[in-house]
């Protein structure tokens, strides 16, 4: 990938990683409930999960998944089910979460979520279609795309963690925590509805 293509990919990756979506809602909610530092494994999981998908997309797997109607429907169904489950857990999370008694979404959970997130597959498929060139090693290109996406996704995820950590200050009362939980659950449920 040349300099111009690399710059174009970084812009693409930034737009894909910074725009609101299920992963970013999860990052913000996690940081709001457990703090910035305890939420760092979650952002690392999101970045690694998406980067691995970008690597696989460069080898052509994402094109197969996005091109297979029934597999894409199955991924959407799993993604919607997970988002609705996460929305339920968020809405009815114990109000003592801010005292540190809750287990934050960790690295493995955040990374695994990317594999059932249809938006993640669509982004990976679009990246492979637009930035992987014929006649060059798909693996080498996949590694380059994955490394770039990891850096961008990590930085964008840290922005969402920062927003969640700032919200944490305002969530000292049980009423505010409950309202926040309902709002985040609503956003997660909305993002699930948009996948249907």
Q: Is position 29 within any domain?
A: yes
Q: Is position 142 within any domain?
A: yes
Q: What is the mean pLDDT of residues 125-144?
A: 78
Domain count, the chain: 1
Q: Is position 82 within any domain?
A: no
Report pLDDT digits (tens) over 45-90. 999 999 998 888 777 665 566 567 787 677 777 777 877 887 787 7
Q: What is the mean pLDDT of residues 149-169?
A: 93
Which is nearest to 132 in space by CA: 71, 52, 62, 47? 62
pLDDT of 106 above 70: yes
Q: At a CB cut-off of 8 Å and minimum separation 6, what does 194 contact?
A: none
Model pLDDT, residue 103: 65
Report pLDDT digits (tens) over 33-49. 888 999 999 999 999 99
- Answer yes or no: are the C-beta atoms of 57 and 124 closer than 8 Å: yes
Q: Is position 184 within any domain?
A: no
Q: pTM of the entire structure?
A: 0.76
Which spans in the chain are helix H? Answer: 3-18, 22-34, 40-58, 61-67, 69-91, 107-114, 118-131, 138-169, 174-195
Domain of residue 129, residue span: 23-75+103-171
Q: Is position 192 within any domain?
A: no
- Residue 42 CA from chain centroid, whole number: 9
pLDDT band at 21 (very low <50, low <70, confident <90, very high): confident
Model pLDDT, residue 73: 77
Q: Is position 57 within any domain?
A: yes
A 10 A CB-CB count for 104 gives 21
pLDDT of 100 above 70: no
Model pLDDT, residue 196: 66
Model pLDDT, residue 5: 84
pLDDT band at 98 (very low <50, low <70, confident <90, very high): very low
Q: Residue 147 and residue 153: Cα distance in Å, rounded?
A: 10
In our burial notation (b when 16+ CB lie closer than 10 A, e otherwise), range 141-180 reads: bbbbbbebbbebbbebbbebbeebbebbeebeeeeebeeb
Most confident of 48-52, 122-126, 172-176: 48-52
- Residue 31 CA from chain centroid, whole number: 14
Q: Is position 70 within any domain?
A: yes
Q: What is the mean pLDDT of residues 133-155?
A: 86
């Amino acid at each position: 990938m040349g300099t111009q293509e690399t710059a174009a990919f970084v812009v693409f990756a930034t737009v894909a990683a910074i725009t609101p979506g299920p992963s970013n809602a999860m990052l913000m909610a996690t940081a709001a409930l457990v703090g910035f530092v305890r939420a760092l494994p979650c952002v690392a999981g999101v970045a690694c999960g998406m980067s691995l998908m970008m690597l696989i997309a460069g080898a052509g797997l994402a094109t197969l998944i996005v091109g297979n109607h029934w597999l894409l429907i199955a991924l959407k169904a799993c993604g919607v089910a997970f988002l609705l489950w996460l929305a339920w857990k968020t809405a009815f999370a114990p109000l003592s979460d801010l005292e540190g008694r809750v287990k934050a979404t960790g690295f493995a959970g955040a990374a695994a979520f990317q594999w059932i997130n249809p938006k993640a597959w669509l982004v990976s498929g679009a990246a492979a279609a637009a930035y992987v060139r014929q006649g060059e090693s798909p693996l080498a290109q996949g590694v380059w795309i994955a490394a770039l996406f990891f850096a961008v996704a990590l930085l964008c995820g840290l922005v969402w963690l920062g927003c969640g950590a700032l919200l944490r200050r305002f969530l000292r009362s049980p009423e505010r925590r409950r309202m926040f939980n309902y709002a985040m659950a609503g956003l997660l449920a909305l993002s699930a509805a948009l996948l249907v």
